[in-house]
Amino acid sequence: MALPLLSDVPAALRFLSRLPVRLPSEPTEDGPPDLDRLGPALPLAGAVLGLIGALALAAGHWLGLGGFLAATLAVGVLVAITGALHEDGLADVADALGGWSVERRLEIMKDSRVGSYGVCALILAFALRLGALAGLLAGGLPAAGAGLVAAVAVSRLAGLFMLAALPFARPDGLARSAGVPGATSRRTALIVGVALAALLVVPTLGALPLVGALALGAGAYLGVVRLARAQFGGQTGDVAGAATLLVEIAFLIGLLIFARQP
């Protein structure tokens, strides 16, 4: 179980980021992603991405940049290595909400241009993520770094579960080509993601922040599911990307809120 799971991490990283990682045994070109197979590896791949961001956070902290600039450096690195994949999804979903019908919303979502709703959503998303990460850094670098890795790992479950939670909103697109992950794949991914978060958060922040962060992350995910069902009639790759980013933000905010409880 462990070896196949680890061997799928490079493919999961290529799906989630721009990192050119490839095992010698893998083909030189990737076909459509098989998320039923890759699903359990997504939290592990997210942890790798989060670790890169945490190293950038540590570098900023050690250089004496202060909490805000260190957090900005970490988030900037994450955006760079992921190719702004989830930020693009959030902006497209926000813009689409301005449409007057399901068909018009889906049309807007497919447009590569970013409108005022998308810009505002991105500004708020960056502000919340930077503020939460800077607040965690005020409590110490180990807690902030561990929290960031856990947040990125757990949030990658959102897109996976979104594919199974709602029907496809359109007949084409990345979400359909990736397929619907089965119950076993989703269950294994959930176990891996929560176990990773527990190993990272409990020793540095405690059990209460972990439970609170997971609860807020789950609430953000369910909110996106409900919104997508009502506004788009289903899910798309952009919806999955938006859910991923919002769960990451909610998880970080949850850590910050409950870490400050006596």
Mean pLDDT in consecutive groups of 10 residues from the start of the chain, 262 residues: 70 88 63 81 96 97 95 97 94 93 91 90 97 95 97 96 90 65 93 97 95 97 96 93 97 93 53
Spatial CB neighbours of 236, under 8 Å, sequence gap ≥ 6 = 106, 109, 168, 169, 170, 173, 175
Is residue 122 within 8 Å of residue 84, measured between CB atoms? Answer: no
pLDDT of residue 28: 60
pLDDT score, position 27: 58
Joined together, the tokens standing for residue 233 give 């009639």
Rounded distance between C-alpha atoms, residue 94 and residue 99, angstroms = 10
Residue 26: per-residue pLDDT: 59
Q: Which residues contact 248 (CB under 8 A, 6 or more apart)?
A: 86, 129, 151, 152, 154, 155, 217
Tell me, what's the pLDDT at 261?
56
Q: d(Cα 57, Cα 51) in Å, to the nearest integer?
A: 9
Nearest CA-CA partner of 255 in 205, 221, 197, 194: 205
pLDDT of residue 25: 60
pLDDT of residue 238: 94
pLDDT at position 169: 86
Question: What is the number of other CB atoms lying within 10 angstroms of the CB of residue 72?
Answer: 20
H helix or E strand, kind and range, residue 228: helix 207-232
CA torsion sign for 75, 79, 85, 90 is positive
**Contact between 224 and 161 (Cβ < 8 Å):** no
- Which residue, 171, 252, 168, is CA-closest to 216? 252
DSSP string, 48-62: HHHHHHHHHHHHHHH
